[in-house]
Structure 1
Amino acid sequence: MEWGRIKPNFPRIDWQTGKPVKYESPPKTANRVTYFDVPNCILSKIARRYNVSDIQRVLFAKRGKKLKVKSRKNSAFGNGTLLHSLLQLGQYQGTLTQIAEYSSFLGLCRKSILNPLIFWSWVKQHKQENIDSQQEDLQITFWEWVRQHPEIPIILCEGEKKAACLLSLGFVAIALPGIWNGRVGKQDFDERLHPDLVPMAQAGRKFIILFDYETSSKTRWSVYQATVRTAKAIEAVGCECEVALLPGPEKGVDDFVVARGEDTNAGLTAIIDDAKSLKDYQRSYRAKKWGLSKYKPDVTVNVKYLSEALCIPDLEEKCSSVPELYDIAQEQLFTPSVKGHFRKEKSTDSGGVDSDKSKKSPTFNFPKSGLVVLWSDMGTGKTELMRWWRDQNPDARFLNNGHRVNLLKNLAERLRTAMYSDLGYTGLAQAPALSITIDSLHKLNTQSLTYGCIFIDEACQYLTHLLHSNTCKQHRAAILEVLEYIVYNAPLVVIADAHMDDLTVNFFLAMRPKGEVPYIIKNEWRNGSRTIYWYEGDNESAIVAQISAALMLGEKVMVASDSKRFIKKLDKSFTIKYEESNSEKSHTQKKYRIWSGRSDK
């Protein structure tokens, strides 16, 4: 392509759309992908970044100049290699004098001086040797050099300015005229990679898509669709594709570079290195957003512990009363979404306080019945609040349901409930207070069991585990039936999470009696910042030594790892006994207290 688009300072207005035309192309000419001419200084940066050394063969010629061989003195015909080989092969016709009279191999064959079979036999033996020797003398353009090195990733960006910006920093970048111009054809019919990109699509080549940062939901959806379809077209030709995302608020990568100043190279390198695979990009786009938008809190407080804002009423009734029998006619099918949501004028708390007033009040009354949502950060006393409820209602049947065994063991100790793993089938039916995992919920006898209160901590992860975990796969239908029964019939259901969302509230509300409205308590308190250390590599000694030092100083340490083996090894190594220095307690042995958790996700 012998032309490039321009970006006018004073763009004209498109008479059809009424919008300014940012880039101008020649009239009646389709937009094309832009390959820039790259000077020596940029080539050196790219070679250093990707550790490629053979840059002396790159020819910096003007566009259109033909590629030539530097020297032909080593060619097969000029140095007599062919004649010597023919003599070795034998069975030639004519003499060396006759051969020298003709200037081409074709002439020798036409005059019947050279047997064509002998000629092609020689070609077969020396073809690869001659090709290799010629390639050493051949000068190539920058993009031909990139094509010969598929280990160098290529960044696709929107617009020439952004591609030029990336090239100036030592990244190989190609400018697309628009987010949709990396592919051609119709979706699910003949969609394929743009022909201008095909020459660079060698097997194993990695393409990185880096489009602008967008805030509009409509524009973000268009960028997402264009990115996915372009990435699939790239993968269809045997290449890899990743997606890099700008953090914002700068719109384009050129704006990002200007705003970051001296830290540009390190920041942009980190963004490119952290590019996501296509599956991860799709998953991150579809990831649910934390927080409640559909439901408004009935009470909003800002306290370190929820119990500090609790207004303790004079409880005259206990929640141990037997609820009504399960009515199949009133059964609500559980579904992630609920059509229609009507909020009552009066809240369902025990004090009957108006919801508008309760929002302004720094205290709240804990409801006696209904669906209660605790939206509060980690370590803000959600479990202690339920401990208070247990103390106020010692005779009420209590069920603590969760998805992690270690979490349940900790809650069972703090809430004074029996652990399901310590009981048989008879014990499960007789236990007045029980902690049980969602995986074993189908073991409960719903015909004879009713609970005054059901508490579910980490409700969002609980729901994900219930619907997607392989451990629930075999009994998932039975688990859902039992869960719906006990949630529907329990007078009080409390769900808690630091990252509560609308989907989780919808799910549990759909299993409650028709017309019920959730009572939401939001705590705006946020715990202080924590120091986070990131470790990479195979050497575990550094992190183990630092954890040991922190434990010796009495600090609390949380370790997250993608290796189950390492966590078990760490757990075992720190579960050691020691004796206190105090002489009175010198014979008392203690252990470090370690809580470990594991997730398959």
Structure 2
Amino acid sequence: MQKPHSFSESELEIRQFTEIVPQSAPNVTVIPPSLPKNEGLNQKCPDDIDLAHWNEWLASKIDPELIKLNLLKLIGNEGYDFLLYGSRISRQNSGKLRNRDLKKYRHLEHGGWWCAGVDPLNDYKLMSWGCFKPNKPRHEFGEYTKIIKYEHPYKESTRAFFLRVPVKLWEQVAQRHNIPISDEDARANFWHWVCKYKVPITLCEGVKKAASLLSIGYAAIAVPGVNGAYRNPKDEYGKSIGQPFLIPDIEHFATHEREVRICFDHDLKPETVQRVSSAIAQTSLLLSKRGCKVQIIQLPGPEKGVDDFLAADGDFDKLYNSALTIEQWQVHSFNQLTYKRALTLNQRYLGELNLPDDAKLVGLHSGKGTGKTEILDPIVQKAIRDGQPVLLLTHRVQLGQALADRLGIPYITEVRDNETGAMLGYVLCVDSLHPKSLARFNADDWKDALVIIDEAEQVIWHTLTANTEVQKHRVEVIRQMSKLLRNVLTSKRGRVILSDADLTNLSFEFVLGMASVDIQPWIVENTWKPETGWNVFHYDQTTPVAWFAALEEYITDGGKPFIVTHCQKVRSKWGTINIEARLKTLFPHLRILRVDSETISDPTHPAYGCMSNLNSILASYDLVIT
């Protein structure tokens, strides 16, 4: 017979402890607690909690009273009663467990901690389902050996954790959200009160995370994994046979207008990030369909879980108040770079960089104007000295020509007039990455090359979506790019460098996917940012009338703006040509330079050739339009 679990419980929770836990384990009895005489914190470890478990939970900044209410030490055979009680478990005729299950779960006898909450679907009585953390976890053997850190009842559907909450933490949650606790509420249950008054909830991954958040006054519900809030029905072959739906526990709280914040772990592995993102998207969608106001809390790292974040004295209130809407999170998820950094800097300029010989896929993530092009120069020159051809890809002809001049390699149109021809490589706009272009491009000619993709994010989007010349040859361009990347990354000397101020997972996933290789990128990140930023003014109008009026006022006051538009043609009312004409009429005494595809290709225009010497040319003008 297991020693009864003697809880040090608050008056608000007394009425719950009248059930057997777990309900189908007749050998385990829980005695209703007596009222605590002292509401102060008792830091001494209770007898029914193992000291190592007690310290583990305290290390996660979990309130001692909450630990006493929810944690239980299991020893010997007790774990079988809590984990192997389900009716779907195959048993011998005598009712005993089969040998294969006894062997699989033999590690339970080494003991561990058990945690379960209340059941919102059964009058908030104790839930038989819960979580067990074994002192000696078992291993699952397959393609990779996996350590099972946490166990849940065998062959039982997973549920959510609604931990028992002491009075002081209930009051803290109530104060945070300015929601009173009536006498009737006090005679009921914390989670009944949360449900009744649509108290904002935070959904997290793992029971200790919920305990940490409850300890600082947030109504936190835990699920056993990122996919734990919903079911995705499948047949016996693993094929989806229906639409995903919220589990009943979560659906019970997914009421109209309730605020729900999702706070899952911070991860760096791209495949894990993708899996977590998919789970967040699906959970958010299902909650939104129920009328919930969903926001996403993003942990900044390096700590993995919110309990680790709190243990490191992180400011969760700040994260909570700056949570992203679903739309903001979707945009932000496209801008993430979660691959491990090999080198992190914080300096105005990147400086000299020595690449390891085995760095096949290199990423340069550094802000604009921090010397990304300068850092490429010695790398390119070394490749040339070693007889390694260099191919630099970009998405704009003018940008490519400027890079060619700075790095000392020809642009494709200069190859015929260059004494070395294409021997040392060249710079090429990605539109020409096909056999019918001037380059007569063939990926098989570049097996051991150094390939540099400047402004990688733009090059990729341009390749996939632009309506320029690449549109006519897109299929062949993509085919050649795939073959090029595969040839280079699988060769002995080949290397690919991705450079971008806004480098994200997208660039690496694109390259690795196109090349069909699995390589760990070697990434340099420069976190430096200027001390002062830019003032941004947003004009929420369908036409930029207010913007032009503000521009006119700015110029009148002596301002010298650099004007960027998205179009050029005369038919565009707000293109470069028409803006230039208006400004020349308004300010005939000012020096105005228009830089677009028409002017830079006109030998008689002042903008001709300016791309290679922008800093000195732009300083000679009052207004520049591009």
Q: TM-score, normalised by structure 2?
A: 0.44
* Larger relative contact order (CA 8 Å, sep ≥ 6): 1
Larger Rg: 1
Q: TM-score, normalised by structure 1?
A: 0.46
